């Protein structure tokens, strides 16, 4: 059976999407918080290889869809038999991805990997997107990561050509729209470029997902980080703003800066307060804000800003008003046992609760407590 290349990382919303590796790793690879591709060299894959991979995906799709009845129900014994007859792990991995896309993902989306496909020449990207549309006409979403600087380097006509060919969604890790914070995290582009990129995507009719990272400017920049990010994102008014709370990863340059005292990492509550300011200052925009990553402490920050802003602020305020023991219980339980709400603390069993209370009793407030939280949270990224 044919196989195809996939990378490791994709946005959470693409957990059931087809993953097509168009480039390998990240062409920038220098953000001070990011360890995803450290030590790996960026490469573009040969066009013929990518096109062959699309053809392989399509042939697996045909095999899987041949095991459906007239109402689209899967013949699971036949699918299982085919899956277990495959000879290699790679074949099984590819087959499982296409099946998941068909069965659980409503044949909705494909995501182009790795970290910044928009760095590719437009003519090459167009050939890839056109082949995808030819082989997968049922797709509603063809999505990619795109850095602001790469998006700026495309002309409005190029972006429109890509949209017309089928590329209709971009995920962009702005993280912040504060120039000072962009400098601290070494993002490699400016807030002005972010605004230009966002407006160009809007003009081309491409759905925009922007990431905001509370806490990435540290204590010194927290207010400005929220205010500048809200100001630029309001001007773009993207379809989606996705929350990705900053978590200092051991081994990263920011971790070293924190140890050297040139960066002051924020507490969990500090980051929640920054998020609150950011949401508050988005007043007037219509974007859908969503906390769709396990790294975020508060998972129910979600809704259209123009309709749900007050409800989101109330929810954040409810957390901030918890007494310090309940707050700590929730912080730990969210990271260790993946509960979603402080009300879910009741669902923990006696041994889980006593484990949490033991840590609360024995780990002092302040830096030791934050270090404990970080040790659990950083495992999630
Ligand atoms: S651009 Fe994205 S993938 Fe590349 S280093 Fe920065 S955060 Fe990591």
For 192-251, the pLDDT digits (tens) are 999 999 999 999 999 999 999 999 999 999 999 999 999 999 999 999 999 999 999 989
Crossing angle of helices 350-362 and 324-336, in 10° steps, is 120
Tell me the CA distances in angstroms from 292 to 12, 97, 195, one per residue in order: 7, 21, 23
Q: Is 118 in the pocket of ligand 1 (CB under 6 A)?
A: no
Judge whether 298 and 316 are in contact, CB under 8 Å: yes
- Beta strands at 207-212 and 288-290: parallel, antiparallel or unpaired: unpaired
The ligand 1 atom at the shortest distance from the C-alpha of residue 145 is 2
Burial class (CB in 10 A: 0-12, 13-18, 19+), 281: middle
Beta strand ranges found along 69-138 (DSSP E): 109-113
What pLDDT does residue 289 have? 98
How is residue 101 annotated by DSSP?
A: H
Q: Is 246 in the pocket of ligand 1 (CB under 6 A)?
A: no
Tell me the CA distances in angstroms from 193 to 67, 255, 290, 352, one per residue in order: 48, 27, 24, 47
Judge whether 56 and 94 are in contact, CB under 8 Å: yes
How many other CB atoms are there within 10 angstroms of residue 9's CB atom? 15
The ligand 1 atom at the shortest distance from the C-alpha of residue 26 is 4
The residues, any chain, with a CB within 8 Å of residue 173's CB and separated by 6 or more, are: 145, 147, 211, 244
What pLDDT does residue 380 have? 78
Instruction: Report the DSSP beta bridge partners of residue 289.
Output: 241, 303
Closest CA to 257 of 40, 41, 27, 31: 31
User: Given ligand 1 and candidates 23, 33, 36, which is best to mutate, with the most ligand atoms within 8 Å of its CB?
Assistant: 36
Distance, CA 317 to ligand 1 centroid (Å)? 32
Instruction: Please report, in tens digits, the pLDDT of each residue of the chain (381 residues total).
Output: 689 999 999 999 999 999 999 999 999 999 999 999 999 999 999 999 999 999 999 999 999 999 999 998 999 999 999 999 999 999 999 999 999 999 999 999 999 999 999 999 999 999 999 999 999 999 999 999 999 999 999 999 999 999 999 999 999 999 999 999 999 999 999 999 999 999 999 999 999 999 999 999 999 999 999 999 999 999 999 999 999 999 999 899 999 999 999 999 999 999 999 999 999 999 999 999 999 998 999 999 999 999 999 999 999 999 999 999 999 999 999 999 889 999 999 999 999 999 999 999 999 998 899 999 989 988 877
- Tell me the CB-side half-sphere exposure of residue 121, using CA atoms within 13 A: 7
The SS3 call for residue 357 is helix
Query: Hey, what are 347's tokens?
Result: 């669902």
Q: Is 342 in the pocket of ligand 1 (CB under 6 A)?
A: no
Tell me the CA distances in angstroms from 231 to 111, 184, 225, 270, 279, one per residue in order: 29, 19, 10, 20, 11
pTM of the model: 0.95
* Sheet of 109-113, strand order: 18-21, 109-113, 141-145, 169-175, 207-212, 240-243, 288-290, 302-304
| pLDDT tens-digit map of 15-58 | 999 999 999 999 999 999 999 999 999 999 999 999 999 999 99
Distance, CA 92 to ligand 1 centroid (Å)? 30
Q: Is 29 in the pocket of ligand 1 (CB under 6 A)?
A: yes
Determine which residue's CA is closest to atom 8 belonging to ligand 1. Answer: 34
Q: Is 36 in the pocket of ligand 1 (CB under 6 A)?
A: yes
Closest CA to 192 of 237, 240, 149, 154: 149
The SS3 call for residue 2 is coil
Query: Hey, what are 289's tokens?
Result: 């804000």
Dihedral angle at the C-alpha atoms of 118, 122, 124, 128, nearest 10 degrees?
Answer: 70
């Amino acid at each position: 059976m044919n196989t195809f290349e996939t990378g490791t990382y994709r946005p959470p919303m693409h957990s059931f999407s087809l993953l097509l590796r168009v480039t390998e790793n990240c062409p920038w690879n220098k953000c001070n918080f990011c360890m995803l591709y450290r030590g790996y060299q960026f490469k573009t894959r040969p066009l013929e290889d990518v096109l062959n991979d699309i053809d392989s995906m399509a042939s697996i799709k045909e095999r899987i869809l041949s095991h459906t009845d007239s109402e689209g129900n899967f013949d699971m014994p036949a699918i299982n038999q085919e899956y277990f007859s495959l000879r290699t792990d790679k074949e099984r991995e590819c087959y499982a991805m296409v099946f998941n896309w068909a069965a659980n993902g409503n044949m909705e989306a494909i995501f182009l990997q790795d970290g910044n496909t928009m760095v590719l020449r437009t003519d090459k990207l167009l050939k890839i997107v056109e082949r995808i549309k030819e082989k997968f006409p049922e797709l509603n979403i063809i999505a990619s990561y795109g850095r602001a600087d790469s998006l700026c380097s495309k002309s409005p006509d190029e972006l429109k050509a890509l949209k017309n060919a089928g590329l209709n969604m971009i995920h962009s890790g702005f993280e912040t729209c504060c120039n000072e914070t962009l400098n601290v995290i070494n993002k490699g582009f400016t807030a002005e470029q972010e605004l230009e990129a966002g407006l160009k995507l809007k003009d081309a009719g491409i759905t925009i997902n922007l990431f905001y990272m509370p806490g990435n400017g540290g204590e010194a920049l927290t207010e400005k980080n929220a205010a500048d990010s809200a100001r630029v994102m309001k001007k773009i008014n993207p379809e989606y703003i996705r929350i990705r709370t900053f978590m200092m990863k051991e081994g990263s340059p920011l971790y070293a800066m924190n140890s050297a005292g040139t960066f002051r990492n924020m507490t969990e509550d500090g980051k929640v307060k920054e998020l609150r300011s950011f949401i508050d200052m988005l007043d007037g925009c219509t974007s859908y804000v969503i906390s769709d990553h396990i790294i975020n402490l508060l998972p129910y920050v979600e809704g259209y800003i123009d309709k749900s802003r007050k409800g989101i602020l109330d929810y954040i305020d409810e957390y901030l008003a918890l007494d310090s023991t309940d707050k700590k219980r929730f912080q730990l339980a969210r990271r260790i046992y993946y509960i979603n709400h402080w009300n879910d603390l009741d669902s923990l069993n006696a041994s889980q609760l006593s484990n949490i209370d033991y840590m609360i009793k024995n780990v002092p407030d302040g830096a030791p407590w934050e270090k404990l939280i970080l040790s659990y949270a950083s495992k999630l990224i």
